[in-house]
Structure 1
Amino acid sequence: MIDLRRLHVLRAVAHYGTVTAAARALHFTPSAASQQIRQLARDLGVDLLEPQGRGVRLTPAAESLLAHADAIQARWDQAELDLRADHGDPAGVLRVTGFPVAVSVLLAPLAARLGERHPRLSVRITEAVVPAIFDLLFEGAADLAVVESTPHNPPMSDTRFDQQPLLDDPFDLVVPDAHALAGRDRVDLAEAAHEPWIAPVPESPCRLQVLAACGAAGFTPEVVHHAGDWNATAHLVAHGLGVALIPRLAHVTPHLPITRVRCAGDPHRRLLTATRAGGHARPAVTAALRELRELAPTALA
């Protein structure tokens, strides 16, 4: 008989990449986590970890076991949902998470709507970014997330998570009001090729998207300033220090002397909803997803 607690430790090692990181997430000591995996290996009669440099890696047997482990976890979650099913109004605690802009324009109004329509449901919001968002989902500390689609996300084929498109958030070219492009209805980004640029900081998931949009227009921008906050970016533009691409969902300080201009080709970032596998079947998550799909188009208006 497989001990599901030990199987969860192995899943955590695969998710976090090391025994130490998995132990930290599970509130174990590294030696206790290692002991759990060694005992699971003895129970199954196979090796699950093998040395790799100064660390360890999963054996082929462990990789095979994980495919079953993810399915077992999904079935267990579904069993809990079935046992606790409330066929009335969604109730209990719904834990949602997302990156800052999503919290501001989607999750905050979501919580307000759900509170009005489902008084027995309590929504708890946690601001986070990838990869922490997927860690929260994996750990069961979040039930629903709104994330940006980035190369750092788990692949869409990852059976531990259910990721679905929510909306495309267009990037606008933001220039000072006095700029020659400010009066245009739409602009080709190539027309801003020789401008000084303000780009997201290297760790921002939007940095690659901004650089890719410029690349698609045929140029590499001369980045003179970096900012991690869209409002800070807008202030830099307002002071005439460069131009920038800012997502339409990002609200900035009103009355700044800046103009948003739509871009030819509609460069955008894609927003996704994410749950644990099967998590969307929970009544509270189903209600939240329905509200998010109604909120998404209005957020861009």
Structure 2
Amino acid sequence: MSSEQPAFCYWCVTGAVQSGRGFAADRKIRGFTLIELLVVIAIIAILMGLLLPAVQQAREAARRTQCKNNLMQIGIALHNYEMAFEMLPPGVVNSAGPIRNLEEGYQMSWMVQLLPVMEQTMLFSMVDFSQGAYAAVNSPIRTTRMSVFRCPSDPAPPLAAAGGLIVGEASYAGCFSGSDKPIDADGDGCLFLNSGVRYREIRDGASNTLLAGEKQIVAEAGEFGWIAGNRSALRNTGVAISGGWDIVKPVAGGKPAAVVIPSVTATSGFSSHHTGGSQFILADGSVRFVSQNINVQTLSILGSRADLQVVGEW
């Protein structure tokens, strides 16, 4: 067996390296072409276009669930109040009616009465009931923003009342009547002026009577805070859902139409920022989403506690 090794040719190796060959002979390095890059960008854009609406819908579903939870807490508080006092709280306490949407009078709302049964005893103890809702001594309560009274889907920023005071707004309101009329002592709902409705007076049935529901917070229509027992805390079902005068409606050019206030006693109906309708508390304690396409007459019947009308499916 020969022990001779093959001769090493220096000039051959050097020439191969200089000519671009050698150990990586004929190997080419290439990147993406412009067309390939554009195709990848287009695919990513399509995926993002499909994904973002789904993420937004998931977020809105979560906000709607939180809103339902808020209403459930309010409904439980109403029932706890009723069990303690054998009647529902008065929708608004005032010496006389009809209630005017002005910073005048006593006008203490039903939401104030719920504070002790909503684990807000300290806040309730701060209320000076010898003074009205708009008294300076009650300003700390009026300016308190309660998360349980705000719908997460409502984008309204902190709003100022007529006096320039930043108030704690409410996305929910009690139902005082099945008819579109001013708030007064003749309300046929469950929460109206100086009311004290007992459950035996809800003759239409607790599962067919609305206690409260959602409303949009619209600064142009006037907001007085959840402490005030006017249109800020009470609405009627005589108006179609999201069909009232206090809804900001877009017009040509993308700018919202001006809100025209019919009168100082006008209340309007229920509304929300959820697609397709609003959520309501029924007198039996359940929370139900009601379509904005519901028959107006059916909605009116649901807002009345004892009109003895058959509702049927709704």
TM over 0.5: no
Whose Rg is larger? Answer: 2
Larger proportion of helix: 1
Q: Normalized against structure 1, the TM-score is what?
A: 0.22
Larger proportion of strand: 1
Q: Normalized against structure 2, the TM-score is what?
A: 0.21
